[in-house]
Amino acid sequence: MSLHQRRCLLHNLELKPYTDALMWQRTLLGDRINDPSLEDILILLEHPPVYTLGQGASSEFLKFDHTNSIYEVHRVERGGEVTYHCPGQLVGYPILNLQRYRKDLHWYLRQLEEVLIRTLKAYGLQGERNPGFTGVWLEGRKVAAIGIKVSRWITMHGFALNVCPDMIGFERIVPCGITDKPVGSLAQWIPDITCLEVRSHVAQCFAEVFDVELVTDGAVNS
């Protein structure tokens, strides 16, 4: 018998187009608004190169003309400013019913940060919060961004951890609208690190922080 009161399905995918993942999240969210008894889900994946802006984000933080651009750009319903996704960045989309946990968005954001801080700790790295901002920093560099949307206490969107991405894509934006704090990736501290190995640490830390039993429902390369 499980020691956890809650189960959470884990979808561990490899590379998935952003728009496909977005539509999937919206479907899962809608299903759970209609039937709150459905189980929670954690999706871990990577995206091909794409820029996304939160619903209130300013396009001035894009250093290119998004109306006539070779780059894929989407404005979506999450909070936060502009961010960049690409292979080598591990993205997590928790679809959780916060009525099972705590109906407090600030608490939820801090829990997501805690998942990432514990993941870094597994590598002997000291992740930190930055007062006034959301995300996780490592020696002054932002290595993880967080942006969420919550409807009827059901969550979507989530976090992005820079593991070993091509950092050039970040040079085309002001990441998260923060002008004076650089972005970083774990590969700057651990050169041979891969998303594949980090996935297991993120999943384990997520299970610990949210006190859930993760049930694998999907494999890498699916």
Structure tokens at 195: 């998303």
Closest CA to 175 of 85, 81, 109: 81
* Residue corresponding to tokens 């997590």: 92
> Active site residue: 86, 176, 195, 205, which one?
176
Closest CA to 185 of 201, 169, 174: 169
Is the distance from CB of 97 to CB of 212 less than 8 angstroms?
A: no
C-alpha–C-alpha distance, residues 82 and 31, integer Å: 28
195 as an active site residue: the answer is no
Query: What does the DSSP assignment read for 57-93?
Result: --GGGBSS-TTS-SS-EEE-SSSSS-EEE-TTEEEEE
Active site residues: 176
